Amino acid sequence: MPSIEKSKDQKIDNKKIILISIIIVALIGGIIVFLNITKEKNLNLEVYAPIPEASMEIGVVGNLEIGESIENVNPEAIENPVRPINEPIPADIFNTSGIILNIQGNSIVVRGLGTNFDDQIKRDLVVLINEGTYVNGVYGDAEYFKKSLKIGDNVSIEAPYNIHGKTEFLAKYINIIKE
């Protein structure tokens, strides 16, 4: 009889081992599935880099000197102003718009409307584009930049720093304005 008791104990031990093995395999499988579901692919973190204080300074182009009036500097602004004459221009400007006149290797030349300048004179703006520039929502793709932007396109431009009174600046976002 002792041999019968041994075989019953072995069956119980075998069942416990099989049950524990199944539980361990199920836990490992669950962990693997969980990690695959929660794993982010192409993780792209933008690192905060402080903007140099010098880039926040107002540019000197288009400033009215003391004693100068817009009537003397730009009589056209009286007839066709881009903003009310007696309304001061904001100290910080990050956006502008205009029509593309020329496309170069890493920049575009845009005819600005004069909104970034105290004298409201329309000027050609050199807008630099680099790998951190979004063109129509596409990030840093030079080929897309060359294919999508065309001479004559009306574009909206956003810079990462103050462009008040500046005719050359780096763009963070460029979007074609469709009418």
Asked whether the CA dihedral 90, 94, 99, 105 is positive or negative, the reply is positive
CA-angle at 87, arms to 93 and 166, nearest 5°: 30
pLDDT in tens, 123-166: 889 998 888 889 888 887 777 888 889 999 999 999 998 888 88
Is residue 70 within 8 Å of residue 87, measured between CB atoms? Answer: no
CA distance 67 to 72: 10
Q: Distance between the two ends of the chain, CA-based, in angstroms?
A: 96
pLDDT in tens, 70-123: 677 777 777 777 777 777 778 888 899 999 999 988 889 999 888 777 777 788
Tokens of 100: 């593309």
CA distance 171 to 48: 17
CA distance 152 to 100: 5
Specify the amino acid at residue 166. K
